[in-house]
Amino acid sequence: MTDIYNGAPVNEPERQMYFIEECKKLIDGMGLFADGKKPTYHISTFGCQMNFRDSEKLAGVLESIGYTLIDSEKADLVLYNTCTVRENASTRVYGRIGYVGKLKKEKNPSMVIGICGCMMQEPDEVEKMQKSYGFIDIIFGTHNSYKIAELLYTLLMNRKAKEKDPSLKTRVIDVQKEATGIVEDLPVKYDSTFRAGLNIMYGCDNFCTYCIVPYVRGRERSRRSCDIIREAQDLVAKGVKEVMLLGQNVNSYGKGLEEDITFAMLLDKIASVQGIKRIRFMTSHPKDLSDELIEVMARHENVCKHIHLPLQSGSSRLLKRMNRHYTKEDYLLLVKKLRDAMPDIAITTDIIVGFPGETEEDFIETLDVCETVSFDSAFTFIYSKRTGTPAATFEDQVPEDVVKERFDRLLKVVSRCSAANAARLVGTVQEVLVETVGHELSDNSSGNTVESISTPDGTTALTGRLGNNLLVHFVGRKRLIGEIIKVQIDECKDFYYIGRQI
């Protein structure tokens, strides 16, 4: 089928823009959607904010082709953007695949089903998809997700050829072992009109012994600062008020670039862009958190005084075994520096319980750090063995019952500290970015929802986010969504607040 691509540009993103237009023509020419009906698509995303950002890009390309988003897997094209960091994410993906396969067989045989993301960078998973899930049409990984238009075009052309020769196979598999570069400037469908993620780098060079990310996301690749600044300016022009800078380890931004630039220098530039009201970033690796970055954070009012700083363990012995490149004492010193510079900073973290070889003494060290730091919140995880990582081969795995008991103890400490920190804002007036009508949003950390309130004067229950990243529920007019307003904090509910507009 080489002749199909003779007119396609070689360079990106021009090549994918070409295939967007070719997909439009092909879909129209095949008469699949008569009477003005538009093809529909649905994307289910698993995993981190990088995955959700990738899904926004996939959606942007599909909508440029002519697809319309629906909130159901009963669509003409269904994509699963997968995660493989923990086993439960992979299990959930297989559950959805089984469901949509049955849906395709019984309701819509021409449905296109695609699997992409981190799981598809693992050869064993790709092989499993090939052998056991014959109804899957497109398989691709993290390194070439930008090629969705080209892959869809290839599939549709294969289907067209199959009409003449039923023996032909139509499935498209395109998984790159290594990342070859960065492709941006393709259409994006943002989930929000006032908040947006902004990729500053891709990949990870840290190779923590428990983590699969460097193997499925590739080595670190930083974007040029001029491209990032231009995108930030474009977001402001579109009405975006809050920007989240994204990278597997934003603190190591700049490595490999021709320009001499650090993450602190980049953050300083972005904070100076007119119109950006709030800037967040994640994720920060403690080993690369510089004094320069702390100074920039403290100096700029529009940089949220919140940092997500993964601890993983409070035991220096385990941290070395995890290949984290810092000690308990190093971490506590960083926290002191952050709080000396910004006394009101909110510090959140990640903690793993049950890493191979963890003793009771190691776990007590973790509890000690939690008590000392008093984290504003913590994502706590039971260690999940990932094939292909060094830790998966460690023989001293911790018994499940021991891990569960420690996990419960950790949750109690973290919850107590979080609640105490949150309570300090009661009675204060805070700036809040209004995000949604209250009944439409659930606080994932607690599972709490707020019922909708409607009053004769047109007010309703609203939910917004403070600079410390916690939610506040209050009554106001719906037109406030997307605005930054002042709210008095009247009551603390551990993981969220109840307040009133000032």
> For every one of its 502 residues, what pLDDT tens digit does the chain have, with 9 covering 90 and above?
445 667 899 999 999 999 999 999 998 877 666 666 889 999 999 988 899 999 999 999 999 999 999 999 999 999 999 998 887 888 899 999 999 999 999 999 999 999 999 999 999 999 999 999 999 999 999 999 999 999 999 999 999 999 999 999 999 999 998 888 899 999 999 999 999 999 999 999 999 999 999 999 999 999 999 999 999 999 999 999 999 999 999 999 998 899 999 999 999 999 999 999 999 999 999 999 999 999 999 999 999 999 999 999 999 999 999 999 999 999 999 999 999 999 999 999 999 999 999 999 999 999 999 999 999 999 999 999 998 999 999 999 999 999 999 999 999 999 999 999 999 999 999 999 999 997 443 433 333 444 444 455 567 899 999 999 999 999 999 999 999 999 999 999 877 899 999 9
Question: Would you state the structure tokens that stand for residue 334, as one six-digit string?
Answer: 């960083």
The whole-number pLDDT of residue 446 equals 38
* Closest of 236, 234, 237, 287 to residue 263, by C-alpha: 287
CB 434 within 8 A of CB 466: no
Strand order in the sheet with 377-382: 306-308, 346-353, 377-382
The whole-number pLDDT of residue 6 equals 73
What are residue 463's DSSP bridge partners? 436, 473
User: How many CB atoms are closer than 10 A to CB 181?
Assistant: 8
The whole-number pLDDT of residue 37 equals 83
At 139, give phi and psi (nearest 5°). -130, 125
Q: Where are the alpha helices (DSSP H) in 44-86?
A: 49-65
The whole-number pLDDT of residue 90 equals 83
The span from the CA of 267 to the CA of 263, in Å, is 6
The whole-number pLDDT of residue 3 equals 54
Q: Cβ neighbours of residue 414 under 8 Å, at least 6 residues apart? A: 351, 370, 375, 377, 378, 380
Question: Would you state the structure tokens that stand for residue 460, as one six-digit string?
Answer: 């309703």
At 258, give phi and psi (nearest 5°). -70, -35
Fold type of domain 305-424: Transcription Regulator spoIIAA (3.30.750)
Q: Cβ neighbours of residue 146 under 8 Å, at least 6 residues apart? A: 12, 13, 16, 57, 61, 183, 186
User: 151 vs 128, 220, 360, 498, CA distance in Å?
Assistant: 20, 25, 51, 48
Every domain of the chain with CATH number 3.30.750.200 lies at 305-424
pTM beyond 0.85: the answer is yes
Every domain of the chain with CATH number 3.30.750.210 lies at 195-302
CA-based Rg of the chain, rounded to a whole angstrom? 24
Every domain of the chain with CATH number 3.40.50.12160 lies at 2-174
What is the phi-psi region of residue 12: left when phi exceeds 0, alpha when psi lies from -120 to 50, beta otherwise? beta
Question: Would you state the structure tokens that stand for residue 109, as one six-digit string?
Answer: 């045989």
The whole-number pLDDT of residue 34 equals 63
Classify residue 395 by burial, with Cβ atoms within 10 Å: 0-12, 13-18, 19+: exposed
CB 369 within 8 A of CB 328: yes
Question: Which class does domain 195-302 fall in?
Answer: alpha beta
Helix H or strand E segment including 306: strand 306-308
Helix H or strand E segment including 335: helix 328-341
Is it true that domain 2-174 has CATH number 3.40.50.12160?
yes
User: 486 vs 194, 464, 473, 493, CA distance in Å?
Assistant: 17, 11, 12, 19
Say what the alpha-carbon torsion angle 249, 252, 255, 261 is, to the nearest 10 degrees: 130
